[in-house]
Amino acid sequence: MRLVLPSAAVAAIALTAGMTQAANTLTQQTAQQAADRVSSRMEAAYNRHDAAAIAALFTPDATFVPARPSPRLGSVITGRQAIEQFFADDFGTFPTVSHKLVEVHPIDESSLFLIGELHLTGQRNNQPLRIDGHFTDVLVRTGDDWQIRVTATSAAPGPAATQASGATR
């Protein structure tokens, strides 16, 4: 079952916030470049199993709503330390991720939201596992860089990945 509500709620909040500051918006090209950069860094850090590098992509007070709640951390995870712990725990089940940005929308001069696809592969009970889903992020400008302020994911089990087919994404 896909959980669409968290992503839709994040997008609605982002759009509403942006309506008050529409005069000074980012260009679409700048927003796309920022989103590409953060998404690429996230994917690379995840595939290196570098939870600290992932956490550094988030603002100190960021909120993360995972598609599947953490047994230790719950369904709404706040702060870099908790986000780092979530991802460190996740590598055991899902060692590989790939991202594809679907939409990027500037909100104002220092924030944007994006929607992307995610594909996780791993194993559970010695069986190949693939999870396909979506993520919605709100990025904020922090100095000369961009960080994730809030992210929500939704996912549904996809077809089983197989080693024979070489599926790693």
pLDDT reported for residue 134: 95
H helix count then E strand count, the chain? 4, 6
Burial 55-67 (b: 16+ CB within 10 A, else e): bebbbeebbbbbb
Residue 169, pLDDT > 50, answer: no
With 0-12 / 13-18 / 19 or more C-beta atoms within 10 angstroms meaning exposed / middle / buried, residue 49 is middle
State the pLDDT at residue 6.
54
Report pLDDT digits (tens) over 51-60: 999 999 999 9
**Do 138 and 149 meet the contact criterion of CB atoms below 8 Å apart?**
yes
pLDDT, tens only, 84-142: 999 998 888 888 999 999 999 999 999 999 999 999 888 878 888 888 999 999 999 99
Closest CA to 150 of 56, 73, 59: 59
Q: Return the higher-pLDDT residue of 161 and 98.
A: 98
Could you give the CA distance from residue 98 to residue 86 in angstroms, rounded to a whole number?
18
Q: What is the pLDDT of residue 24?
A: 60
For residue 62, report the phi and psi dihedrals to the nearest 5 degrees.
-60, 155
Looking at domain 5-16+25-157, its CATH architecture is Roll (3.10)
Q: What is the pLDDT of residues 23-48, one digit of tens each?
A: 467 899 999 999 999 999 999 999 99
Under a CB-based contact definition with an 8 Å cutoff, are residues 105 and 86 in contact? Answer: no
Indicate if the pLDDT at residue 4 is higher than 70: no
Closest by Cα among 162, 164, 143 to 34: 143
Task: Decide which of 13 and 32 is more confident.
Answer: 32
> What pTM was computed for the model?
0.78
